[in-house]
Every structure is written in C-alpha cells, then in structure tokens.
Amino acid sequence: MVSSYITSLIRALYNLQSHPIARSKYGSFDVLETEFRSLVDAIWKMKMLDEKEKYIKKIVVKWEQLKQCEIQSFFQMSKESNLNPRLDSAISSLCELLRLLFEEIIANPCLKYEESTHNSEHQEVLIHLQKLGIKRLNDVADFLEVKAMQNITMSSY
C-alpha cells in the first residue's frame, strides 16, 4: 500500500517536472494533495515501522516547502507556463526524499527478509513448493493443450 502511494506520488511529481505543459494526470493541486495525505496515513498505519514519526515529519516539511513554492498557483496557470526554478528544486527535493523513504521502508526490509530466508530449511521448503507448482502447472498445460486440439479439429457447424 505504502509502496504504491510513494511510486504514484513520485511519478506524478516527475511528470509535472518533466512535462509541465501536460500538468500530469492530476488535474488539480487538490488531487495531488489527497494522494500525499493518503501516503502519510498509510505510513502512520504501518505496524512494523518504529520511526514513522520521523519519516512523516520529513515528508510533511518537504510538502510544505513545495506549497510555499506556489505549486497551487502553478496548477491554475495557463498550460504554456513552465515551472519556476524554486518549484522545480522543491519537486526534486521531495522526489529524492520519497525515493529514500521507499528504500528505507520497503526495499531494505525486503532485502533483509530475503537474506534471512536463505537458510537450508527455508530453501528445502521453497524447492518443494516450486516442484509442486511446476507439476500442477504442467497438468494445467496438458489440459489446455488437449482442449486446444479439440477446438482445432472441430467440424463445421
């Protein structure tokens, strides 16, 4: 959930920065702010995160800086208007913070979990599950092959 909010917000900010004339899929600042609030709520609801207040404080500060750079008025300007340098810098700064947040909250814990599952017992279970999955998928593939052959050799109506 958090990862999708982070990536969605990064994508929207990047599109706004790269293609300011298009104004991204977010037609208004309110939609972008709603996405940001959803991200903050999702981080707050995370169970395993001990330092969530630190992360929330950092991104809220960056968001407020973005608002001070008049992002709201940018959405109200004509489509021909480009980003001012302060706003461009604030967007870059927020995107970088969101990337770091993604790394700390999502990527690093996943890598730690992956490293912890590399013991022999887990490997045996995973290999057994892999063999079982392959066998069942082969059965399904055989069934579909027979069904396909029947459909090909059907006589005309």
Residue that has been written with the tokens 């599952």 in this structure: 117
Rounded mean pLDDT of the chain? 79
Q: pLDDT value at position 37?
A: 92
pLDDT at 82: 73
pLDDT tens-place string over residues 79-132: 666 778 888 888 889 988 988 888 888 777 777 776 666 667 777 887 888 888
pLDDT at residue 141 greater than cutoff 70: yes
Q: What's 100-131 look like in SS3?
A: HHHHHHHHHHHHHHHHHCCCHHHHHHHHHHHH
Please determine, for residue 157, whether its predicted confidence score (pLDDT) is greater than 50.
no
Confidence of residue 61 (pLDDT cuts 50, 70, 90): very high
Q: What is the DSSP string of the chain?
A: -HHHHHHHHHHHHHHHHH-TTTT-S--SHHHHHHHHHHHHHHHHH-SS-TTHHHHHHHHHHHHHHHHHTTHHHHHHS-TTPPPPHHHHHHHHHHHHHHHHHHIIIIIHHHHHHHHHT-SHHHHHHHHHHHHHHHHHHHHHHHHHHHHHHHHHTPPP-
Q: What does the pLDDT read at residue 26?
A: 54
- Give residue 21's pLDDT: 60
Q: For 11-30, how does the pLDDT look when each residue is reduced to its tens digit (9 = 90+)? A: 888 888 777 666 555 567 88
Taking the domains of the chain in order of start, what are their residue ranges? 1-117, 120-156
Read off the pLDDT of residues 27-42 as tens digits, 9 standing for 90 and up. Answer: 678 888 888 999 888 8
